[in-house]
Structure 1
Amino acid sequence: IEGMCRSTQASAVPVIPDSEGTDSNPFSLDALAVFMFRVLQRVNHPGNLDKSSPNAGFVLLMFYHLYDGKNRTEFESELIERFGSLVKMPLLRPDRSSLPDPVRLILEEGINLYRLHTNAHGRLESTKGSYGKEWVKWEKQLREVLIGSAEHLNSIQVPFESAVKQVSEQLQNIIKGEYTPPSTEMRKLGTIIFAALVENNPKVKSFLKDKDMEHNLKKAHLTLAHKRSHGVTAVASYGHLLHQKVPVELTALLFTDEMAALEAEVGSVDGEKVIPKNEWPHVTLWTGEKIAAKEANRLPQLLLEGKAIRIEINPPIIISGELEFY
């Protein structure tokens, strides 16, 4: 599609289901469950991907793994970089209850089976590999579990009419030229950081000079709460602030040879103080090769151990970001 746009001077707008994703996939298990549930409810699909398809679950897992290895931020950043804009179709209610254990377990079993299958057979159809019997059993159990959890799966979805309305509004904003890519604020942040820190601090200048700051800033964010660490309820507690601009003060730079992050203090929205559930609110700027971004949470402890450096930002840098669920 990107190539077609370049050759024809056309414009394309990616429209993707909204989801908080996982550490390694832009779509959460909740989203995957809903996708499968919807497919197994439809009939007479032109591509034969419906309730009558014996390997519908396998095909959905194949689609799901097309994006494996990218978290939500990386996925969205790449789309915006390629197409200049992005529309998110609401999918799941932010105040939803947790995925029932039987649903979570059957999905995890399918993901594990898919990995075994692809490691052994690549893109071969599920019915033609050495795990054929396991796939037949899993597809049957998948249908039983999803049908048994129909009430939950229906209750966690955003009503279709509401989703269509929000997509239409976002498209209209893009057409009117009123769309601002989320990464714009972070690109500005890169310039601000260098101006505030580098000029008068040789140590920081030496550290940052060979770092690909622009690439990393496209993915920069401040996590208020994480579903795995703090629970769905904690994440959902920010639902009333969704899509609102939240001010953030950047008060210090902490770094080691392997990572760097900005210490942050979250401000207020309409007089309400936004309180992060994370023990150390921060914006990760950079991590070394094979170092996960979450490792930046260790910087305060490394500082206490004398293994990290802290440079105060005085006065603090004040930026703002839109609150989103990822």
Structure 2
Amino acid sequence: MVKKFGAKNNSRAGTGTIDKDTEVSNSEKWTSATASQLDSKVKNILVKNLPISHIKTDQDNPRKLTIDINLVREIQNKFSIKNYLKNEEDYDWVEEYVEKVTKDFNLKGKQIGDFTSIVEFAAVLKSPKRLLHSIVVWQEDSIFHLISGERRLLTHILLGEEYISSRISEEKLTVKEIDILQWEENIHREDMTLFEKTMRLKKLIDSSHGMSKISVRKLAKVSGLSVAESQRYLVIIKYPTDTLIKAIEEGKVEGLQKSAALAQLSDEELKAKLSGIVIAKKDVIKPTIKISKNADIDVMKKIIGAVTKEFKAESVLDNLDLSKSKDLNLAFNSLITFLQKG
């Protein structure tokens, strides 16, 4: 839980009441692209060391992390990482440490990847003195709401630190302003996945123009992306079903250009493609055998399941929902295609 501190509710960032040893850096400037978007509000940002206990994270964080402050603090209390950081060049301990924590805290799926990312960052950072980029917060009384830098914040907690260097906005930013800041902060990070970038860009579109009014050139202007990149992201975001974005999230589709190319397919074609069925555009799977809407769906599912198991054709059913008649037809005819090729 975030703690409030200070005797006065009207305390402001920059008054010197937060930490006596704080140093303000006047040499650090915000990126010109963001400054032009946010005008004078960004110019009011100061840099101070803030107590982590008074920072509240953004529930809609752009990184979509599956671990949080409380979990990382519990891990740090039980498995201190300090003893592993003595050797400057030795990172062999990372895998063993992650495995130990994963087993003890029963981490699963994306949690393991997110935690590994935090551990690897901690292994390189070692000390808050080596942090190059401060986190960004806005102040509400004595609570500081995180705008960007959740990964850096969690890494400091894992290192057992109580303070973190922070850029403080003295004014509450609008949703649009926060989205622009978060986009600028994260888009150029190499460790952001395509899914994370796409979701961050979608949020930026929603808060700036709205999906119905956005155009490729408007997107390029607000995001700083090239027109070509904007066009690719836009066709992915506007894909009529969630099939493509789920495939990107699960790592079944990688790369912006390839994902944009897949966005040109119909949902039926895309599902077939993701299931490993190679078909030419002109040979889109059209039911050679059409299952009646009055057919017993449970029976058909049993038949498809039995054939799939017998011929080890599980990949054919990937991304298909057999409770839907359209997908049931696709699965049945996809199995026919699979068996013909086998």
> What TM-score do the two structures reach when normalised by structure 2?
0.22
Higher strand residue share: 1
Larger CA Rg, structure 1 vs 2: 2
> What TM-score do the two structures reach when normalised by structure 1?
0.22
